[in-house]
Amino acid sequence: MTQIIKPAPSLTLANGVQMPQLGLGTWPMNDAEAATTVAAALAMGYRLIDTAENYENERGVGEGIRQSGVARADIFVTTKFNRKWHSVDGARAACEASLERLGLDYIDLLLVHWPNPDQGRYVEAFQGLVRLLEAGLVKSIGTSNFKPAHLQKLFDLGLVPHLNQIQLDPYHLRDDLVAIHREKGIVTGAWRPLGCGNAMLTDPVISAVAERHGRTTAQVILRWLTQQGFVATPKSSNPLRMAQNLDIFGFSLSADEMAALGRLDRPDPEMFDADSFGH
């Protein structure tokens, strides 16, 4: 029997659109796993589903949405497009292709997946998103993995994403970007919020906080993120962990606990650099 959990609270994007703060990430699920997991997640109480062209599972995500029986208007779908579509017309083509794969008639949030500054067309890609917003094919628009210099190119033209999705967790604080986001009214989205492997999930500082609250370390990390006003989309297809990840809004971290996790930042030489990596 599916455990039903109260849906996550929503926050308001700059254009008034409501976005759930906690959602399901779907990388690296294939179509079959995505269909099953998305349907189960929506039945459980998830209302935000995060996918991308590059994940190659949009068809599965769409199938899961249809299988769930949850009304489309109650589901927030985020997807992203690749570098080959970085132009005004390309953004339209990417959006239409994603809509076809998802089987939907609009996307709640469409993102430029990586800036790919080597080809220098991410501004045009975002201008294409603006047109899609005006056409009603998307409800909100944003960027993913944009660094301060990439965002500044948009700001210089009066363009401001509704959300910038970045790698962010207690080991990767990204304070420079968070400060810019807050100044400009951009929501911060966190991908891979629980890190890679078990390092953060077994961290002694986080473990001590989790023990005090009778929670898992994953729940503490996700609460730390959402308590700052960020959106987090952890990936899991395990029903127990999916339920735990969503069930984080019944407790709060103290100021000291928030600060303790905020002191865990560390260098990561393997972190993707959006000036040189992208697809």
* Residue position matching structure tokens 């899609």: 132
d(CA 68, CA 204): 39
DSSP code of residue 198: S
DSSP-derived pairing of the beta strands 76-81 and 48-50 = parallel
Is the peptide bond preceding residue 28 cis, with omega within 30 degrees of 0? yes
- For the CA atoms of 12, 13, 14, 16, what is the dihedral angle to 10 degrees? -60
Cross-strand bridge partners of residue 11? 19
Task: Check if the beta carbon of residue 154 is closer than 8 Å to that of residue 121.
Answer: no
* 58: phi then psi, degrees, rounded to nearest 5: -60, -35
d(CA 11, CA 165): 15
Helix axes 31-44, 58-68, angle to 10 degrees: 40
Please report, as a single letter, which amino acid is at residue 84. Answer: K
Q: Which of 46, 55, 122, 171 is catalytic?
A: 55
Question: Catalytic residue at 55?
Answer: yes
The residues carrying an active-site annotation are: 55
